[in-house]
Structure 1
């Protein structure tokens, strides 16, 4: 091998290492934490796939109970994550915090939210959520799974109040609420910074743009949507970026 070829190979190797390092430190890296709740999980997995479709890299973290009762291999195959973390990674929390800009919890359980609200960090998922909140990093939580246990809604008023108290406490600590149907908008564009237009005929008019408040800086529209010239002009006038969902 001549010297020029050897030099090029060395430079290529260095470049790959740098690119890999940059990828690991990307602000678009999200860690999804899965707990032991089945509630609407298949639908939420589909919702999480939308993140990948918009150039957001994701990794997965599973609680001890999730590993025991969920088909985690199917979840991993569906989302094809960069990395997979498990309960034993509780000893690697410090490095995980550095590697990810935000975490998403699509199916939080009573066990997890009670621990976080009380500062009990004796498990991987509760420790990670608490640590991100403690460091004032973004934590997105779908709280809807708290209202169903073993497939049944709560019929005890006192327990229902307790759940609401835990939820309120975690929100005050900085937890950001997401719901099925708005994961991408809340996580990718930020709280109160985006709108979404779903149009049956996929034609966005000036009226559609005017229906959104000035606080919306982005509007997400389905792929294949047609924007009328007046809609484009009005969006430009109001400083609104129109993003096509991929």
Structure 2
């Protein structure tokens, strides 16, 4: 590879990151907090805006936040403007407290106010479930998963936020999901079959036949189950699977765990 090709390759990798505005909400959980925030700091060209709860400011190492080189949002006026201008919202640390408040419509600090407004504005939101997840190994080891009724309550709160459009992932999926999101990468889209037109057809007949075929294709598409969210997780697969095929809109990101599930179960992915 010559120098020109090397430079082009570097530019292709850097350009998708420049000027991306991402809003991060950080509440006061400790589960995998260091690794999650460190992952974000690896993407140095991203323009981060950060909203932190008082609890987060007291328990998370200040040096981790400084490595993000982001702006701290500390007022509602700044918050409203930032939410509207952000490409999407990240919640790498979501505590039980914040999860429950947002699910119940409680807005009592910048974190809960901001997440609620982002939901109301239909902004894309990606949240990591580790801090509140009763199935997380750290929570289990500390005995925070013993009460099944309480676990069920948290699960119901997650379902409420999921119905609002919040996409939940595990920390093990975080780096690859965010990287894919930043670079807008995904599996290669499938090629549509070409419509064969017999040579005896006139130009007019060809156009009419193509129009009819396209209409049939569109009608067929309407009958299919097509997953409309921008990120497909393992939990989404059963809801969108049809005859061993998962149909996604172009640009949909497939999380690492979902990719493994698709591969291990010999499922097929089609991009529409």
Do they superpose with TM above 0.5?
Answer: yes
- Going from structure 1 to structure 2, the CA distance change for 1:149 and 1:44 (only over 3 Å counts) comes to same
Task: Give the deviation of 1:103 after TM superposition.
Answer: 1.2
Within 5 A, what are the aligned runs for 1:7-26? 26=19
Deviations 1:39-71 (CA, angstroms, capped at 9, x unpaired): 111111233234x15x53222211121123322
Within 5 A, what are the aligned runs for 1:124-139? 124-139=110-125
Task: Give the deviation of 1:34 after TM superposition.
Answer: 1.0
- Going from structure 1 to structure 2, the CA distance change for 1:195 and 1:158 (only over 3 Å counts) comes to closer
Aligned equivalents of 1:47, 1:132: Cα separation in 2? 23
5+ residue gaps in structure 1? 1-25, 198-207, 218-246
Per the alignment, residue 99 of structure 1 pairs with: 85
Within 5 A, what are the aligned runs for 1:1-246? 26=19, 28-50=20-42, 52=43, 55-71=45-61, 73-81=62-70, 83-86=71-74, 89-147=75-133, 148=139, 151-187=142-178, 188=181, 189=184, 190-192=230-232, 193-194=252-253, 213-215=268-270
Task: Give the deviation of 1:195 after TM superposition.
Answer: 5.2
Task: Give the deviation of 1:95 after TM superposition.
Answer: 1.3
Task: Give the deviation of 1:184 after TM superposition.
Answer: 4.7
Deviations 1:154-179 (CA, angstroms, capped at 9, x unpaired): 11111111110111111111101122
Deviations 1:84-135 (CA, angstroms, capped at 9, x unpaired): 123xx23433212222121111110111111111111121011111101111
Aligned equivalents of 1:60, 1:150: Cα separation in 2? 30
TM-score calculated relative to the size of structure 2 = 0.56
| Larger Rg belongs to | 2
Instruction: Kindly report the root-mean-square deviation, in angstroms, between the aligned alpha carbons of the 2 structures.
Output: 2.9
- Going from structure 1 to structure 2, the CA distance change for 1:149 and 1:32 (only over 3 Å counts) comes to farther
- Going from structure 1 to structure 2, the CA distance change for 1:61 and 1:149 (only over 3 Å counts) comes to farther
TM-score calculated relative to the size of structure 1 = 0.62
5+ residue gaps in structure 2? 1-18, 134-138, 185-229, 233-251, 257-262
Contact 1:185 1:194 in 2 (8 A): no
Contact 1:103 1:139 in 2 (8 A): yes
Contact 1:47 1:180 in 2 (8 A): no
Aligned equivalents of 1:174, 1:134: Cα separation in 2? 10
